[in-house]
């Protein structure tokens, strides 16, 4: 791929972040160009979710160094809602339940917030119903879920489908999917993967955070990164995932600690 | 923790109704004694029986002690430092709206309650009360065609003395409690409603209470009588300017429903709440009670309480008539340093009486919000049923919520159900909504209105949207 011709969507430079004075991210570097799919792997607790939440603007994390550029915007200057309107989307590892707030209304308000930024016309209740019906097909979700409270009482898999539904409605430029495949049975996994493939375009980019090769069989990444201790230790092509599946993470961490000692 | 700060950024928006109308006011001297009560009575040209009522109440009040059982701490009130009567000048006789001072009409315009023929609301009759007096009542003639009486209580005392004699103080006796006794001694104005037999009141009735003077107490008195098979829906709204002193508001509301009558009483209370440091604001000590005297009668209270520095208020139902029904739907929101202790009493006397209580308390800032309720089932109340649901929502980690549900049953064949819950708006819920492009205030207001839906569904249509907006406004803050 000729990078000079494609557009840089996300550029994370030497990113450091703390939670309650505890460093979690220790200098992350990452560049994502339009049309690319990146996979981020790594042990539990290595900082993958933190990285995704920091990109989306979660207030619990304090940025202690580095920058995040999204197209021409300095993301760290923006509120989470502004980032979302620009086209940053985070599919949560643990989507939260919001009792009392109708899923349909929530989806409509958020879709319109994004559309307003894109200078597309606002969808009224009826137009939105049609629009959402289209998108429900992509994730093969039962329309009955629209009339419930946001994620309330949804099973793990239903929550994940609701995340992909939101992604389909919001049409983001950058989608970060944090373990969207965890806890899904193989059929659900295929549905989610098909949804992601369908929504990926040459102008958008996707970051998949996952532990499993089975997702990457369905969605082929251009790059695979391995995270450990709040840093990206290694980056390679899709074959890295296969290697990790076979040999685990030890060898990479070994190599990298040797490297550090030599420096 | 940085996350909590985001939630703490919630501060009240500047109070929209905080202006003072510059108008010449006739006030009497500060303080309370028998002469003051006689003076008030004389100013209002009252019949002798009412003066006696007031003086009896005053004697009772002197013997009583200010209650201190509520979760409310406030500095001692100096009752001699309050003015008990204030009225805009030249308001003595109000033959028609043309005689009302334009400044007053302008004030109510600004409050969103236009009174003039051209601008007034088409489906709501309004009684506008400014400080101690009612300045205008709209649609009186149209209502009179149906035999409905809607006027200020001062007018009713003169025009319908028999009804007043019979019903005033019959639901809330003068010695009921400290603030009710004080009100009975010095009450100034308020609304009177009478719905004759078999009449469904053709329009919504509404009173709007405006406190304008800072040093004047407001003691309004409302009396609503629904005869057999009649029905009425009544709304009450209130605002006050921003003063850095506290103003006392001690109202009494009495409702009477006879056989098969139904009264729906809704309140949106938005008195000035004081500033972020808790300086100023209204002390709101209110006694509201409805008496379901008749068989199958029904009294329903809905309230949205957002204002006042201190709220002490328990709209109640005495369910005497067989199969009568009492309802209480409440949203109480407190922010900054506001304190609210509110709830209801459902007194089941008659057989097969039913009551429903739905209370939603929302506390933000450093405020405290208590639900206090009593469900009492008397020995004759066979088959009585109550359902209570009390939910609290906390915003931030410095606010507090308490629930005190008291249940006393002397009737084994009754059924009392109580549910309670507390939730906190979490940072992760807010972040979830924000990460979908929904801004912080809107996210809060979505969750709050979702939480209050059960109660908003009970409000008259125009009112529900209004209440939703009011809550959003109260919670809106500058997000950095
Ligand atoms: N809000 C938080 N409060 C305290 N610790 C946190 C918080 N978020 C993440 N951490 C800690 O940061 C580390 C990285 O977590 P996370 O980013 O969720 O890892 P991963 O997604 O790679 O499993 C873990 O040790 C986790 O406990
Ligand atoms: Mg994770």
pLDDT in tens, B285-295: 999 999 999 99
Query: Residue B248 pLDDT > 90, yes or no?
Result: no
Helix (H) or strand (E) holding A189: helix A186-199
Whether the pLDDT of residue B133 is over 60: the answer is yes
- pLDDT confidence band for A135 (50 / 70 / 90): very high
- Whole-number Å distance, alpha carbon A241 to ligand 2 midpoint, is 17
Sign (positive/negative) of CA torsion A176, A178, A183, A186? positive
Residues in Cβ contact with B238 at an 8 Å cutoff, skipping those fewer than 6 apart: B208, B209, B210, B211, B267, B268, B269, B270, B271, B307
Token pair of A251 as six digits = 């060898």
Dihedral (Cα; A160, A162, A163, A166), 10-degree rounding: 160
Q: Do A59 and B6 touch (CB under 8 A)?
A: yes
Torsion of CA B64, B68, B70, B72, to 10 degrees: 130
A vs B: CB pairs below 8 A: 91
Residue to mutate among A86, A100, A174, with most B CBs inside 10 A, is A100
Phi-psi region of B45 (alpha: psi -120 to 50; beta: other; left: phi over 0): left
Q: Does A172 touch chain B (CB under 8 A)?
A: no
Residue B254's pLDDT band (cuts 50, 70, 90): very high
Distance CA B451, CA B393 (A): 8
The pLDDT value given to residue B130: 80
Q: A95 CB less than 6 Å from ligand 1?
A: no
The residue to mutate among A41, A45, A93, A211, having the most atoms of ligand 1 within 8 angstroms of its beta carbon, is A45
Locate B456 and state its tokens: 């908003």
Between A17 and B467, the more confident residue is A17
Domain assignment present for A108? no
CATH assignment of the domain containing A47: 3.40.50.300
Q: What is the pLDDT of residue A261?
A: 64
Which tens digits make up the pLDDT trace of B333-349? 888 888 899 999 999 99
- Whose atoms come closest to the Cα of A178: which ligand? 2
pLDDT digits (tens, 9 = 90+) for A22-73: 999 999 999 999 999 999 999 999 999 999 999 999 999 999 999 999 999 9
Task: Give CA A212 to chain center in angstroms.
Answer: 16
Q: What is the pLDDT of residue A3?
A: 53
Which of B314, B240, B319 shows the shortest CA–CA distance to B280? Answer: B240
Per the CB < 8 Å rule, is A113 touching B434?
Answer: no
Note whether A105 contacts B446, CB cutoff 8 Å.
yes
- Residue to probe by mutation, ligand 1, list A21, A22, A24, most atoms within 8 Å of CB: A24
Would you tell me which residues 14-73 of chain A have a C-beta closer than 8 angstroms to some C-beta of chain B? 20, 53, 56-62
Contacts with B435 from chain A: Cβ below 8 Å: 56-58, 80-81, 83-84, 89-90
At B385 the pLDDT is 97
Is A44's C-beta closer than 6 angstroms to any atom of ligand 1?
A: yes
Contact B439 A84 (CB under 8 A): no
Q: Which two tokens stand for residue B109?
A: 């315009």
pLDDT of residue B462: 65
- Residue A91 clears pLDDT 70, i.e. is over it: yes
Smallest CA–CA separation between A85 and chain B, in Å? 5
Confidence band, pLDDT 50/70/90 cuts, at residue B476: low
Q: Say yes or no to pLDDT of A187 above 60.
A: yes
Is the separation of the CB atoms in B397 and B427 below 8 Å? no
Average pLDDT, chain A: 92
- Cross-chain residue pair B431–A58, CB shorter than 8 Å: yes
Ligand 1 pocket check for A143: Cβ under 6 Å:
no
Residue A115 inside a domain? The answer is no
Angle made by CA atoms B442, B443, B445, in degrees to the nearest 5: 60
Cβ(B315)–Cβ(B265) below 8 Å? yes
B6 vs chain A: nearest CA distance in angstroms? 7
Separate counts of helices (H) and strands (E) for chain B: 11, 23
Interchain CB distance below 8 Å, A79 and B2? no
Percent pLDDT > 90 in chain B is 49
Determine which helix (DSSP H) or strand (DSSP E) holds B440, and give its type and residue range: helix B440-456
- Ligand 1 pocket member A41 (CB < 6 A): no
DSSP 8-state secondary structure symbol assigned to residue B99: G
Q: Nearest chain A residue to B446 by CA: give it.
A: A101
Rounded to the nearest whole angstrom, what is the distance from the C-alpha of residue B407 to the centroid of ligand 1?
46
Of B296, B345, B287, nearest to B324 by C-alpha is B296
Long-range contacts of A229-238 (CB under 8 A, 24+ apart): A229/A26, A229/A46, A229/A47, A230/A17, A230/A23, A230/A24, A230/A25, A230/A26, A230/A27, A230/A28, A230/A46, A230/A47, A230/A50, A231/A25, A231/A26, A231/A27, A231/A28, A231/A47, A232/A28, A232/A29, A232/A30, A232/A40, A238/A39
Distance CA(B449)–CA(B304), nearest Å, equals: 12
Q: What is the pLDDT of residue B5?
A: 33
**A242: contact with B, CB 8 A cutoff:** no
Q: What is the mean pLDDT of chain B?
A: 86
B432 in contact with A at a CB cutoff of 8 Å? yes
Q: Is A91 on the interface with B (CB under 8 A)?
A: no
- For B138-280, strand residue ranges (E) read 149-152, 191-195, 204-210, 221-226, 231-239, 246-249, 252-257, 262-269
> DSSP of B185-220, one letter per residue?
HH----EEEEE-TT-B-SSEEEEEEE---TTB-B--
pTM to 2 decimals? 0.81
pLDDT at B473: 65
CA of A47 to the centre of ligand 1 (A): 6
Give the model's confidence band at B1: pLDDT under 50 very low, under 70 low, under 90 confident, else very high. Answer: very low
pLDDT for A263 equals 56
Residue A66 pairs with which residues in a beta bridge? none
Q: What is the pLDDT of residue A250?
A: 86
Please tell me the predicted confidence (pLDDT) of residue B479.
27
Residues of chain A with C-beta less than 8 angstroms from the C-beta of B447: 98, 100-101
pLDDT of A136 higher than 90 = yes
Q: Using the beta-carbon criterion (under 8 Å), do B3 and A170 form an inter-chain contact?
A: no
For residue A212, give its domain range: 3-94+173-262
Q: Out of A60, A98, A149, whose CB is closest to B432?
A: A98
Cα first-last separation, chain A:
32
Report the pLDDT value the prediction gives residue B241, as an integer from 0 to 100.
Answer: 72
pLDDT, tens digit, 9 for 90 and up, residues B317-329: 999 999 999 999 9
pLDDT of residue B272: 80
Q: Report, as an integer, the average pLDDT of A220-230.
A: 95
The reply to whether A253 falls in a domain is yes
Residue A47 in contact with ligand 1 by CB distance below 6 A: yes
Tell me the chain A residues in contact with residue B439 when contact means C-beta distances shorter than 8 Å.
79, 81, 113
Which is the closest atom of ligand 1 to the Cα of B3?
1
Spell out the alpha helix ranges (H) of A57-151: 80-86, 103-117, 125-139
* pLDDT score for A107: 97
The region of weakest confidence among A18-22, A121-125, B105-109, B472-476 is B472-476
- Which pLDDT does position B209 carry in this prediction? 81
Phi-psi label, residue A151: left if phi above 0, alpha if psi -120 to 50, beta otherwise: left
Cα B138 to Cα B127: distance, rounded to the nearest angstrom: 7
Q: Is A103 in the pocket of ligand 1 (CB under 6 A)?
A: no
Distance in Å, alpha carbon of A70 to nearest chain B alpha carbon:
15
Pocket lining: A18 vs ligand 1, CB cutoff 6 Å: no
Closest residue, chain B, to A102 (C-alpha): B450
- Quick check: A182 and A157 in contact, CB under 8 A? no
pLDDT at B8 over 60: no
Which pLDDT belongs to residue A10?
98
Question: What is the nearest CA distance from B450 to chain A, expressed in angstroms?
Answer: 4
Strand partners, B284: B249, B311
Query: Which residue's CA lies nearest to atom 8 of ligand 1?
Result: A50
Burial class of B397 by CB neighbour count within 10 A (0 to 12, 13 to 18, 19+): exposed
- Ligand 1 centre distance from Cα of residue A50 (Å): 6
Band of residue B3 on the pLDDT scale cut at 50, 70, 90: very low
What distance in angstroms lies between residue A96's CA and the mean position of ligand 2's atoms? Answer: 14
Determine the length of chain A. 263
The arithmetic mean of pLDDT across residues B209-227, rounded, is 87
Based on the structure, what is the number of domains in chain A?
A: 1
Residue B405 and residue B388 in contact, taking contact as beta carbons nearer than 8 Å:
yes
Expressed in angstroms and rounded, the spacing between residue A208 Cα and the centre of ligand 2 is: 11
CB B449 within 8 Å of CB B468? yes
Taking 70 as the threshold, does the pLDDT of residue B243 lie above it? yes
Cα dihedral A63, A66, A71, A76, rounded to 10, equals 20
Q: Which of B68-82, B106-120, B459-473 has the lowest mean pLDDT?
A: B459-473
Q: Which residues surround ligand 2, an ion (CB under 5 A)?
A: A 48-49, 93
Strand order, beta sheet including A22-33:
A22-33, A8-19, A62-70, A73-74
A101 touches chain B (CB under 8 A): yes
Q: Which residues contact A239 (CB under 8 A, 6 or more apart)?
A: none
Judged by CB atoms closer than 8 Å, whether chains meet at B450 and A170 is answered as no
Checking if the pLDDT of B86 tops 60, the result is: yes
Is A193 part of any domain?
A: yes
Query: Is the CB of residue B475 less than 8 Å from the CB of residue B441?
Result: yes
Q: Quick one: which ligand is closest to A40's CA?
A: 1
């Amino acid at each position: 791929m000729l990078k000079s011709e494609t557009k840089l969507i996300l550029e994370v430079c030497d990113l450091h972040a703390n939670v309650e004075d505890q460093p979690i991210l220790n200098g992350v570097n990452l560049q994502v160009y339009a049309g690319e799919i990146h996979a981020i792997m790594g042990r539990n607790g290595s900082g993958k979710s933190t990285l995704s939440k920091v990109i989306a603007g979660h207030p619990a994390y304090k940025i202690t160094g580095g920058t995040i550029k999204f197209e021409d915007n300095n993301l760290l200057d923006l509120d989470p809602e502004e980032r979302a309107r620009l086209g940053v989307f985070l599919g949560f590892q643990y989507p939260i339940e919001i009792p009392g707030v109708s899923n349909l209304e929530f989806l409509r308000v958020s879709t319109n917030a994004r559309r307003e930024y894109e200078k597309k016309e606002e969808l009224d209740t009826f137009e939105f119903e049609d629009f959402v019906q289209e998108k429900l097909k992509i994730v093969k979700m039962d329309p009955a879920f629209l009339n419930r409270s946001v994620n309330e009482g949804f099973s793990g898999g239903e929550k994940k489908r609701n995340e992909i539904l939101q992604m389909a409605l919001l049409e983001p430029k950058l989608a970060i999917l944090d373990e969207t495949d965890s806890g899904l049975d193989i059929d659900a996994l295929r549905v989610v993967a098909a949804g992601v493939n369908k929504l990926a375009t040459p102008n958008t980019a996707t970051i998949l955070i996952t532990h499993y090769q089975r997702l990457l069989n369905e969605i082929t990444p251009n790059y695979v990164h391995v995270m450990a201790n709040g840093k990206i230790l290694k980056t390679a092509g899709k074959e890295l995932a296969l290697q990790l599946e076979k040999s685990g993470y030890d060898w990479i961490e070994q190599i990298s600690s040797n490297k550090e000692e030599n420096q | 923790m940085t996350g909590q700060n985001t939630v703490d950024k919630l501060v009240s928006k500047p109070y929209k109704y905080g202006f003072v109308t510059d108008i010449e006011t006739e006030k009497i001297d500060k303080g309370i004694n028998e002469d003051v009560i006689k003076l008030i009575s004389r100013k209002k040209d009252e019949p002798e029986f009412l003066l006696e009522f007031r003086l009896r109440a005053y004697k009772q009040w002197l013997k009583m002690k200010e209650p201190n059982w509520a979760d409310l701490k406030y500095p001692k009130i100096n009752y001699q430092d309050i003015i008990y009567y204030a009225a805009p000048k030249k308001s003595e006789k109000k033959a028609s709206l043309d005689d009302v001072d334009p400044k007053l009409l302008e004030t109510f315009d600004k409050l969103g309650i236009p009174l003039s023929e051209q601008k007034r609301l088409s489906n709501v009759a309004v009684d506008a009360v400014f400080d101690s007096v009612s300045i205008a009542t709209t649609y009186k003639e149209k209502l009179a065609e149906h035999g409905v009486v809607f006027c200020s209580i001062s007018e009713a005392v003169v025009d319908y003395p028999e009804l007043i004699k019979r019903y005033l103080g019959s639901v809330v006796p003068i010695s009921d409690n400290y603030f009710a006794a004080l009100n009975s001694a010095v009450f100034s104005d308020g609304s009177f409603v009478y719905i004759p037999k078999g009449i469904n009141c053709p329009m919504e009735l509404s009173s709007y209470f405006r406190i304008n003077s800072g040093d004047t107490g407001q003691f309004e008195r409302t009396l609503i009588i629904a005869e057999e098979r009649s029905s009425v829906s009544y709304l009450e709204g209130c605002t006050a300017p921003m003063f850095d002193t506290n103003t006392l508001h001690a109202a009494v509301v009495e409702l009477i429903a006879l056989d098969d009558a139904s009264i729906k009483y809704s309140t949106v209370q938005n008195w000035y709440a004081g500033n972020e440091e808790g300086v100023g604001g209204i002390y709101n000590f209110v006694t509201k009670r409805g008496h379901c005297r008749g068989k199958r009668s029904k009294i329903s209270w809905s309230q949205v309480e957002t204002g006042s520095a201190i709220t002490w208020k328990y709209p109640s139902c005495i369910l005497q008539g067989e199969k009568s029904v009492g309802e209480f739907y409440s949203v109480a929101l407190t922010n900054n340093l506001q304190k609210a202790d509110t709830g209801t009493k459902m007194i089941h006397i008659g057989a097969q009486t039913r009551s429903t209580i739905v209370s939603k308390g929302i506390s933000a800032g450093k405020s405290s919000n208590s639900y206090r309720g009593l469900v009492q089932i008397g020995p004759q109340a066979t088959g009585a049923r109550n359902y209570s649901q009390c939910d609290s929502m906390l915003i931030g980690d410095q606010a507090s919520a308490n629930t005190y549900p008291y249940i006393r049953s002397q009737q084994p064949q009754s059924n009392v159900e109580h549910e309670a819950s507390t939730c906190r708006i979490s940072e992760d819920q807010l972040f979830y909504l924000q990460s979908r492009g929904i801004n912080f205030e809107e996210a809060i207001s979505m969750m709050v209105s979702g939480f209050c839906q059960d109660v908003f569904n009970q409000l008259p249509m125009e009112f529900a949207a209004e209440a939703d907006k009011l809550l959003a406004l109260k919670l809106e803050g500058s997000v950095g």
